[in-house]
Amino acid sequence: MKKTILINDGISKVGKKQLIDLQFNVIDKHIEQSALIDFINENNVTGVLVRSATQIRKDIIDNCPSIKLIGRGGVGMDNIDVEYAQKKNIHVINTPSASSASVAELVFSHLFSMARDTYHSNRTMPLEGDMNFKKLKKQYSKGTELRGKKIGIIGFGKIGQEVAKIALGIGMEVLFYDPTIQKQIINVDFYNNQTIKFKLEKSDFSILLQNCDAITIHIPKQKKAVITKTELKKMKKGSFIINTSRGGIINEADLISQLQNGHIRSAALDVYENEPTPKLEILMNEQISLSPHIGAATLEAQDRIGIELAEQINTLLNG
């Protein structure tokens, strides 16, 4: 009898096809949280695949005895009661490597945009470009280059290391802080099969804050903000800060204050304290480059996520 996999928050066509080819019964349909327990039980679902929209908590685990596997397409699993599920002998899987390059590229999409103020000129050119071209040209002629600048990476897991590769490739100096990593070899691979190795050592957190021209954050969801007015004030005047990890890691009120007083030049946010309804003060702030939690949302990453999930599911459920 085929095992049933519920894809509740979507998966790539490639991943879905692979599950079907592996002889799983696939239900690709979003079931609202309130109806999830009944649906799982009525359809004898063996595995549930989610992203960030669906919560798999103790209530579902306790009331759905057919579940043998919970999969998260992506890195963070803060929407799943992982330890409790594992105690119940339920496999919990994710795809920590599949989307790392996509998130890292989004970091630099924001960083290049902030360095040249294009995120802001994209707002003003449609409104004033025809009447105030010369004024705007002067306004946006104070950009900076990233080559030769220092980037600080807080959290040096797979995503942080992908950020480092891009930074090193464009000539930036990399500092990193991670409580669990002291040293790391970074291999920067080029299109012609050449590789250059860099040996990086952990920086002191305060030194990183004080010396970097840009800081980017890549850590799991935290119980309280890691970056508050204390850390922001330590940062180099005129620097950039980017958060593509989890909302709440930066205290948004403190960030706005440091943007307003000119200490922080610009910020980039892909995640927010109040998702999916970010604060209006954040959305309307002209010093913040914004994106709607799309770090892992590239076509290539979604295909890798789907394939990796299918392979793990087949190994764990079919042996």
Q: Rounded to an integer, what distance in angstroms lies between the CA atom of residue 114 and that of residue 108? A: 9
**Three-state SS at 189:** strand
Strand partners, 70: 48, 92
Whole-number Cα distances in Å, 258 to 96, 142, 143, 237, 284: 33, 20, 20, 10, 16
Which residues contact residue 37 at a Cβ distance below 8 angstroms, ignoring those fewer than 6 apart?
59, 60, 63, 64
Handedness of CA 287, 293, 298, 299 (dihedral sign): negative
Q: Rounded to an integer, what distance in angstroms lies between the CA atom of residue 304 and that of residue 223? A: 30
Catalytic residue among 91, 273, 293, 311: 293
211 burial level (CB within 10 Å; 0-12, 13-18, 19+): middle
Catalytic residue among 275, 281, 286, 300: 275
Catalytic residue among 246, 252, 265, 304: 246
Active site residue 246: yes
| Residues designated catalytic | 246, 275, 293
